[in-house]
Structure 1
Amino acid sequence: MKVCLVGSSGGHLTHLYMLKPFWKDKDHFWVTFDKKDARSLLEGEKMYPCYYPTNRSLKALIKNTKIAWDVLHKEKPDLIISCGAAVAVPFFYLGKMMRAKLVYIEVFDRIDKPTMTGKMIYPIVDKFVVQWEEQKKVYPKAVNLGSIF
C-alpha cells in the first residue's frame, strides 16, 4: 500500500506526523509547503512541495491542482490522508478520480463548525474522521476516533 500524506505545514503537518505508527512501515510520501518547519520535521522523507499561501486563493488552487495531477500520476497512491487545509482539496478530488481511498481527519480545534476544507471534501471521502463527538452534528457520517494528541 502506498500512502500520500498531504497537508499544510504547521499544525496540520504535525497532526499527520502524529499518525506515524500507521504510516512508518508503509511506502509513503508527503505533500506540504516548502517551509523550514516542514523540511526539519520531514528530513529524510520523500516530500513534494506545494504552492502556498492557499487561503481562499484561486491562484493557489490552480497551481496545486497541477502539482496534484503530476504527483498523483507519478506516485499512484492507494490511500490519501489529510487533516487540511486547502492543499488537500485538489489531491482528494483528483485522487478520487484515480480510485485512491480518501481519509480526512477534521482538525481538533473546530468543535461545532465545519472547516472550509472539511465542507469541500466531505461528500467524496471514504472515511471522514472527527476528534470530538460534537463534530458529528456537523458531519453526521463521520467516525469519531478520539483525539490524535
Structure 2
Amino acid sequence: MKICLVGSSGGHLTHMMMLRPFWSKHERFWVTFDKEDARSRLEGEHVYHCYYPTNRNLLNLLRNTGLAWKILRRERPDLIISSGAAVAVPFFYLGKLFGAKLVYLEVFDRFDSPTLTGKLVHSVSDLFIVQWEEMTKVYRNAVNLGSIF
C-alpha cells in the first residue's frame, strides 16, 4: 500500500508523526510546507513541498490544486491521510477522483466545534476520526478513537 501524508507543518505534522506505528510499515510520501520543522522531522523521507500560507489564500489553493493533480497522477497513492490544514482540501477532492481512500484525523484541540478543513473534507472522507466523544455530535459518522497523544 502506498500512502500520501498531507498537511501543514507544526501541530498538524506532529499529529501525523504520532501515527508512525502505522505509516512506517508502508511505502509513503509527504506533502507539507518547506519549513525548518518539517525539513528536520522528515529528513530521509520522500517529501513534496506545497505552497503556503494556505488558510483563506485563494492563490495558493489554486497552486496547491495544480500541485495535487501532478503529484497524485505521478504517485497514485492507495490512501491519503491528513489532519489538516487547508492543503489537505485539494488532495482529498482530487484523491477521491483518483480512487484513493481518504482518512482525516480532526486535531486534538477541537473538542466541540469543527475546523474549516474538517468541514470541507468531511463529506468526501472514507474515515473521519475525532479524538473527543463530543465531536461525534459535530460530525455525523465520525469515529472517536480517543487521543493519539
State the TM bucket, normalised to the shorter chain. Answer: over 0.9
d(CA) in 2 for partners of 1:4, 1:77: 6
Q: TM-score, normalised by structure 2?
A: 0.99
Please tell me the residue identity of whatever aligns with 1:50.
Answer: C
Secondary structure of the residue that 1:114 maps to in structure 2? coil
Secondary structure of the residue that 1:83 maps to in structure 2? strand
Which residue pairs with 1:117 in the alignment? Answer: 117
Deviations, residues 63-96 of structure 1 (Å, cap 9, x unaligned)? 0001100110110000000000000000000000
Which residue pairs with 1:69 in the alignment? Answer: 69
1:37 aligns with 2:37: yes
Which residue pairs with 1:99 in the alignment? Answer: 99
Q: TM-score, normalised by structure 1?
A: 0.99
Q: Which runs of 4+ in 1 moved over 6 A?
A: none
Runs of 5+ in structure 1 lacking a partner?
Answer: none
Please tell me the residue identity of whatever aligns with 2:85.
Answer: A
What CA RMSD, in Å, does the superposition of the two structures yield over aligned residues? 0.5
Between the two proteins, the alignment pairs up a number of residues equal to 149
Please tell me the residue identity of whatever aligns with 1:62.
Answer: L
Which residue pairs with 2:46 in the alignment? Answer: 46
Which residue pairs with 2:11 in the alignment? Answer: 11
- 1:55, CA displacement in angstroms? 1.1
Secondary structure of the residue that 2:48 maps to in structure 1? strand
Deviations, residues 72-127 of structure 1 (Å, cap 9, x unaligned)? 01100000000000000000000000010000000100111100000001011100
Which residue pairs with 2:79 in the alignment? Answer: 79
Which residue pairs with 1:144 in the alignment? Answer: 144
- 1:132, CA displacement in angstroms? 0.3
Please tell me the residue identity of whatever aligns with 1:69.
Answer: W
d(CA) in 2 for partners of 1:141, 1:68: 27
d(CA) in 2 for partners of 1:28, 1:136: 29
d(CA) in 2 for partners of 1:7, 1:128: 15
Please tell me the residue identity of whatever aligns with 1:9.
Answer: S
